[in-house]
Amino acid sequence: MQLEFIRLDPYHRVFLKQQGSSSTYKATLTVPDTLGIYKLKIEYRRYGYSNIEEETIVSCIQFRHDEYPRFLNIAFPYYANVFLMMSAGFIFIVFFLYSDVGGSTKKQ
């Protein structure tokens, strides 16, 4: 049995797998990042049995800005870079304020 996730052309085509010996079928489907209206479609035709044709319309929308995770694991190098630049800037300012490079020279 096959499940299609269709926008203009079939975007995903996955097979439904039977759950043990029961009459329940299951498939895992990843929704694309493309916004739009999609159609879930099942067509099952087998000689000697009745046909199954089912369609359901599904809308895919983006997350709002507050629905994303707060910290992303993949962005740790960027987080480290931010704190490294802040500490380097702080060290530079402290060094510049307390050094006498290019400052006033006293003549006695």
What percentage of the chain carries pLDDT values higher than 70?
Answer: 89
- 94 or 42: which carries more pLDDT confidence? 94
- Gap between the Cα atoms of 44 and 13, Å rounded: 13
Q: What is the pLDDT of residue 20?
A: 84
- 101 or 21: which carries more pLDDT confidence? 21
Q: What is the pLDDT of residue 9?
A: 66
Averaged pLDDT, 13-30: 82
Give which of 51, 1, 17, 11 is closest to 32, Cα–Cα.
11
Q: What is the pLDDT of residue 107?
A: 58
Q: What is the pLDDT of residue 88?
A: 97
Is the model's pLDDT at 105 over the cut of 80? Answer: no
Q: Name the pTM for this structure.
A: 0.47
Q: How confident is the model at residue 108 (pLDDT cuts 50, 70, 90)?
A: low
- 81 or 14: which carries more pLDDT confidence? 81
The residues facing 10 across adjacent strands are 6
